[in-house]
Structure 1
Amino acid sequence: MSGNTISEHNGEWWRNCVIYQIYPRSFCDANGDGIGDLQGICQKLEYVKSLGVDAIWISPFFKSPMADFGYDVSDYRDVDPIFGNLDDFDRVIETAHTLGLKVIIDQILSHASDQHPWFEESRSSRDNPKADWFVWADANPDGSAPNNWMSNFGGSAWRWCTRRRQYYLTNFLKEQPDLNLHNPEVQEQLLADLKFWLDRGVDGFRLDAINHAFHNPSLENNPPRPLKLDDNGLPPVNTYEHQWHIHDKSQPENLVFLQRVRALMDQYPGSTTVGEVGDDNTHKIMADYTTENRLHMAYSFDLLSEDCSAEFLRETLEKNRRVIEEGWPCWSISNHDVPRSFSRWNKGFDRETALARAPLFLLMQLMLRGSVCLYQGEELGLPEAEVAFEDLQDPYGINLWPEFKGRDGCRTPMPWFNGGEVNAGFSRAKPWLPVAEEHYHLAVSVQEDDKHSMLNRFRALLDWHAALSPALATAEQNIVDTGDDLLVFERSVQDQGVEQERYFVALNLGQTAAEYTLPAPFVGAEDITPAGFSGSVDGNLLTLPVAGARVFRHS
C-alpha cells in the first residue's frame, strides 16, 4: 500500500504523517528468549508497511540495566544485547527504507542510568571531570532533601549519595539521575550522540520527557497545588500531583537548547523531531517548542487522559488551535505509558459499540490539524490487559499497587497468531509479560482475512487518508461548539488568502443518536465519508447514530 501522500506537502513529510510506535520488548521475539528484539521488528516491517503508515517510532533499545525498561540508558551509542546489536539495527534501517518507511528512535536527553559511566564518574567525588554532569545539591542543615521536588513516580525527587555526601536529582526512578544540561559539555555530548544515530541513517527522534531537560538552578520549592480528593476524601495516590511544577521542568533555557537540536537536524534534510511534553500548560509549551527553529512536532498527555467526551475534546482542540498557531501538534490517544485507548475511552459502552468507536477516534486523529501517532495493537482493537501482581514488571505499578497498576497492561506482547502457536506467535519462550488471554482471538492472523475486522478498517482508513488533497496538511481548523455529544470541526484550505476547499467533519461520541443542522456550504456537498461509518442527510439535517460519522468536502 502507498504511504501518506498528504505528508509530502512542501517536502515536509512529517506534516500530517502517521507514525506507528513499536515497543520492542513486546513486538516480536526472533531469538526465542521471551523478549522482543530488533530482528523481530525487521521480520514484521512488511506488516507495518501494509497498514499504510509513514514511519515507525522504536522505543528505547540502547544498553540499559532495564530499571525502567530502556528509559535508563547506560550507553547512548550501542544496542542492549537483549535486543541484538548495531548490525541488527542497521538491517532495520535498511529494510524500513526499502519499504518506504521512515525510522524514528527514542532519545532520552533529560536523564541517564545510574550505571552509566558518566554517573559512575560523577558520583565518585566532587572534583572529577564529570562532577557537574548531573544535578547535585547539598542537604539542608537537618539532613533533609534540598527542596520539596517530587518524582513523577511518587516520593522525593532527591536521592542521597554516600560518596559525595550530597543529593542527586531524579525526576523518575532513583536509578535515573538527571543530567545537568546547564553544563555546556553535557549539551555537546548529547548532540554528538544524536549525530551518531543520524549518521547511521535514522530519520528522526522522539525526545522523551523533553521539557524535563532543564531545572531551575535556584532550587526553589514548588508551590503546593489544590488537591483533588477522591470519593473517600483522600488525596491523590501519587505525591507528584500535590504541587505545581514550576521550577523542576519547562525552564526557558530549554528553548535555546532545542534550537541547537534543530540546527543539527537541519544538517540532515528530511529528518524530524517529536517531543513529549508533560505539564499543566502543555499547549503553550508545545507552541514554544515547535516554533522559532526548535522541534518539528510535539505531543502532550491531553488525549492520553481518561476523558474523551465531546466537551473535553472541543476544549482541548480549540485551546491547542488558539495557542499553538504556527507550531505543529502530534496527536496520540494511546502509547506505552497509559491504559490502551480501547478500554480507556470506551467505559460505559458495550463491546460492539466499542468496536465501532475505535475507528471513529482514528478518523478524528486523521482529520485534525497535526500528525498522528498510533501505538502497536491499536489497529487490532486490543483492550487493556489485566496483569496479576506476581507478573508485574513495571516499578511504577509495583510501587503504587493496588491503587495504581502501572503500565504493564498496555505493554503485553503483540498477538500474531491464534491457533497452535504458543504465546500467540510472539515468542517460543515464556514472554517477559504474559500474553493476555483476551488478545488471542484478536491476533493478526485472525483479522487478516476478515474484511470487516478492526485491522482492515484501520488499513482502509489510512488508505483513504492518503488519497486526500496534499494541501489539507496545513489547512486551517475551526472547532464548532455544538454543546452536545457531537464533535464537529471544519478544515479550510487557503491559497494566498483565498479559500480553495472546505472540509466538514462530524463524529457522534455519545450514547444516543444525534442531529445537526449542516452549514449552508455543506448542504449538497460531496460526501467523502470513508466506508464503514453510518449517518444520513435529509436536506440540511444530518443524523448520526451512536459512533456515526460524516465527512463532507466543498470546493
Structure 2
Amino acid sequence: MTTSDLNWWKGGIIYQIYPRSFMDANGDGIGDLAGITSKLDYVASLGVDAIWLSPIFTSPMKDFGYDVSDYCDIDPMFGSLEDFKTLISRAHGLGLKVMIDQVISHSADSHPWFEESRQDKTNDKADWYVWADPKPDGSPPNNWLSIFGGSAWKWDSRRLQYYLHNFLESQPDFNFHNPDVREAHLNNMRFWLDLGVDGFRLDTVNFYFHSEGLEDNPPVPPGEPKTMGAPHDNPYTYQRHVYDLSRPENLDFLKDLRAMMDEYPGTTTVGELGDDFPLKRMAEYTSGGDKLHMAYTFDFLNTPHSPQYIRTTLANMNDIVGDGWPCWALSNHDVVRACTRWGANEDPVAYPLIAMALILSLRGSVCLYQGEELGLPEAEVPFERIQDPYGKPLWPVFKGRDGCRTPMVWENVAQGGFSTIEPWLPVDDRHLPLSVAEQEADPSALLHKVRRLIHWRQKQPELINGELSQLEVGNEELIALVREYEGQRVLVVLNMTSETQQGELNCTISDVLEGHGFTAELKDNSLILPAYQAFYAKLA
C-alpha cells in the first residue's frame, strides 16, 4: 500500500448507515445486511471513501444495538457472519472501506459477562463492571447522573451493591481499570479486523474510565457552557463531568488501541466525544499520532449555525486541536437532521448543498448520514410509534432520536421502497417525493448536485489534506477559508445565507476553479455570491 492508501481516512468521506433503516431485504420491516449490500452500488456512486455501520452485533435491542450481548456475532435480525463477509467483499470490490461501531464503554445486562459479575463479589467477572456500596442510608454512592434520566446507579439485590450505568439501567458500565476488561475488548476488535474491517467508530470514547474515588460531580458554574451531546433541558447537563468521564487514564488505553490498529495497516478509528470541553478532549485524543486517528464533537451537531458561530468554531479548532484531526458531521443517528435543525427556514435544495460544501471544505474528515444527500428533513413520528427509550421520558420537549432514524426512501411508493411491510418506524410522507428514484430521474435534484460536489472535492488535494486559515473579506455574513497543501493554496468563500452577499478579496487569484456546481461573479477584487453559493479559486 502507498502512503495515500494507508491514510485514506485523512480527509476521507464516510457514509454512515443506520442498518435498521437502510434497506429491508427479507421483508420483516427491519433493515439488514443483505439490504445494505444490495445498495452499495448506490453508495459508491456518491464518491465516498467508506461506510460506517451502526451496531450490528447480537443485542436485546433495548437501545437498538448500543447494548451488546455478544461482541463477536451478528444479531439474527441483521443476518449472519456470512452475510457480513459478503458485505465486506462487495464493498471492497467497489472501493469502499468498511467501518463498524464499537460500543465498549458498556454492555447489555444480558451479556454473559454481566450475568456472571452480578452473581456475587467473588466470581471471575466480579470486577469487570463498576460496582459500589451504598451510602449508610442506602442511597447511591454519589450524585452521578445517567444521560437517559435519573441516577447513574442501579441497585442489585444479589450483590447488595449499585452498578454504574451512564445510559439505560440495562447498560451496565465496564470497569476499564481492570486490565482483563481492556484486553477482552482489544481481542473483540481483533476479531473484526481479522475479518477485514477497515476501522471502528468508537461510541462514547471518553466514557471508558471513571474516578475510582467516586467523588460527586460539581455543578456547572453560572455562565459557563453546559455539556455538549445532551439536550440542555436534560439535568445531566447541570453537572460538570469531572469524575465520571474523560479521565486521564483513558489516554493510555487509547495508545494501546492505536498500537493494535497499527498492526493492521490502513485501518482507522474515529471517536465520539460528548464532553464539557470537546475541543480540548479532541486535542488530547487525536494529537501525536499515537491515539485515535480522528474524533468528532457536537459543535456542528447542535443548533447554533450562524456564520459567526461557524467562524468561531473553526478558530477554536485551529487554536486548540493543533495536529489532532477532526471528523466533521452535520447529521447522524442521534440528532435532529440538519435540514431541519439548521435549514428549517432555508431553501430545501440550495441550503443542504451549501451546508455540505462547508464540511467538505474544512480541514478534517467528513461523515455523511444516510439520506443527507437527499435533503431529508427530520421525520415526524407520533408518540405512539416512538421506539427510542431516550425520547419517551422527556417528551414532548425532547422527542428522542427516532425522527432521524426513519427508513431510507428509495422510491416514491408505499414504505418508500424500504420494505414490503410496515417498517419498525413509519416513513414520513414528506420524504417520498425526495426518494432516490425520484431524484435520480430529475437532473436538477439535490442528489445530482451532491454527487457532483463530492466527486469534484475528491480531486482537490488542498481540500483533502490542507491546513486551514480564515480570511477577512469585509462581510460578516461570508465564511472565507484558505486551504494550503504542498505550497498550493485554495480559497473557499461560502454564502450560507438567503441573500446575495459581496466580499472584498485582498489576495491574488491565479485560477477560478469550476466543476463543483456553484456560481459566483468576480469583478476585480470584488466577489459577488448569490444566495447559498460558494466560490473556489487557486491563489497565486
Same fold (TM over 0.5): yes
Tell me the distance in 2 between the aligned counterparts of 1:69 and 1:529.
43
Is 1:276 the counterpart of 2:272? The answer is yes
Does the alignment pair 1:516 with 2:503? Answer: yes
- Out of 477, 480, 490, the position equivalent to 1:488 is 480
* CA shift for structure 1 position 429: 1.7
Quick check: 1:309 aligned with 2:306? yes
Q: Work out the CA distance in 2 between the residues paired with 1:112 and 1:120.
A: 11
User: Is 2:95 aligned against 1:100?
Assistant: yes
For 1:549, the equivalent position in structure 2 comes to: 534
In structure 1, the partner of 2:373 is 379
Residues 85-124 of structure 1 aligned to structure 2 (within 5 Å): 85-124=80-119
Tell me which residue corresponds to 1:43: 38
Match of 1:265 among 255, 261, 268: 261
| Distance in 2 (alpha carbons) for counterparts of 1:401 and 1:131 | 37
Q: 1:10 to 1:479 in 2, by over 3 A?
A: farther
Structure with larger RCO (C-alpha < 8 A, sep 6+)? 1
**Does 1:357 find its partner at 2:348?**
no
Deviation of 1:531 (Å): 4.1
Alignment of 1:127-146 (within 5 A): 127-146=122-141
- Can you list the C-alpha shifts for 1:139-191, whole angstroms capped at 9, x where unaligned? 11111111111111121111111111111111111111100010000001000
Distance of 2:331 and 2:453 partners within structure 1: 18
**CA–CA distance in 2 between the matches of 1:486 and 1:407?**
32
- Residues 391 and 399 in structure 2, CA contact (< 8 A), matched pair in contact too: yes
The change in CA–CA distance for 1:190 and 1:283 in structure 2 (over 3 A counts) is: same
Contact 2:475–2:502 (CA<8 Å) still a contact in 1? no
Aligned partner of 1:405 in structure 2 is 399
Task: Give the equivalent residue in structure 2 for 1:318.
Answer: 315
- In 2, Cα distance between equivalents of 1:529 and 1:284: 37
Give the total of aligned pairs: 531
What is the CA–CA distance in structure 1 between the aligned matches of 2:475 and 2:246, rounded to whole Å? 34
Deviation at residue 476 of structure 1 after TM alignment: 1.6
Q: How does 1:241-256 map to 2 (within 5 A)?
A: 241-256=237-252
Determine the structure 2 residue equivalent to 1:232: none
Which residue, 440, 449, 454 being the options, matches 1:457? Answer: 449
CA contact (8 A) 1:45 1:96 kept: yes
Spell out, residue by residue over 1:415-442, the C-alpha distance to the aligned partner (whole angstroms, 9 max, x if none).
01114xx311101121000011001111
Matched, 1:59 2:54: yes
Structure 1 CA distance for aligned equivalents of residues 356 and 69 of structure 2: 37
Gaps spanning 5+ residues in structure 1: where? 1-6, 230-234, 495-499
Counterparts of 1:105 and 1:319 in 2: how far apart (Å)?
30
Per the normalisation by structure 1, the TM-score is 0.93
Q: Quote the Cα distance in structure 1 between the aligned partners of 2:67 and 2:507.
A: 55
SS state of the match for residue 287, structure 2?
coil
Q: How does 1:197-208 map to 2 (within 5 A)?
A: 197-208=192-203
Matched, 1:540 2:534: no
Question: Following TM superposition, by how much is the alpha carbon of 1:513 offset from its aligned partner in structure 2, in angstroms?
Answer: 2.1
Q: Percent identity?
A: 53
Residues 149, 156 of structure 1: 8 Å contact kept: yes
Residues 311 and 483 in structure 1, CA contact (< 8 A), matched pair in contact too: no
Aligned to 1:4: none
Task: Report if the CA contact (8 A) 1:227-1:236 is conserved.
Answer: no
Instruction: Determine the structure 1 residue equivalent to 2:228.
Output: none
| 1:509 Cα deviation from its structure 2 partner | 2.0
Note if contact 2:152-2:165 (Cα within 8 Å) is conserved in structure 1: yes
RMSD across aligned C-alpha pairs, in angstroms? 1.6
Match for 1:278: what amino acid? G
User: Greater shift after overlay, 150-159 or 433-442?
Assistant: 150-159
Determine the C-alpha separation between the residues in 2 that align with 1:228 and 1:149: 21
Deviation at 1:466, TM superposition (A): 1.5
Give, in whole Å, the separation in 1 of the partners of 2:351 and 2:327: 21
Aligned to 2:162: 167
Which of 65, 73, 77 is the matching residue for 2:72?
77
Query: Residue 9 of structure 1 contacts residue 473 of structure 1 at CA under 8 Å; is this kept in 2?
Result: no
Aligned-partner Cα distance in 1 for 2:152–2:135: 15
Query: Match for residue 424 of structure 2?
Result: 432
SS of match in other structure, 1:492: strand
Aligned residue in 1 for 2:291: 294
Q: 2:340: which partner in 1?
A: 343
Equivalence for 1:445 = 437
Q: Deviations over 1:95-139 (max 9, x none)?
A: 101111000000011110011000000111111110110001111
Aligned to 1:507: 494
CA contact under 8 A between 1:228 and 1:236: conserved in structure 2?
no
Q: Is the 8 A contact 1:227 1:242 kept in 2?
A: no
Equivalent-residue separation in structure 1 for 2:122 and 2:5 (angstroms): 51
Structure 1 residue aligned with 2:511: 526
Secondary structure of the equivalent of 1:520? coil
- Give the alignment's TM-score, normalised by structure 2: 0.96
The superposition leaves residues 62-93 of structure 1 with CA deviations (integer Å, 9 ceiling, x where unpaired) of 00000100000000000111001101101011
Whole-angstrom CA distance in 2 between matches of 1:503 and 1:408: 39
Distance 1:519 1:215 in 2: 51
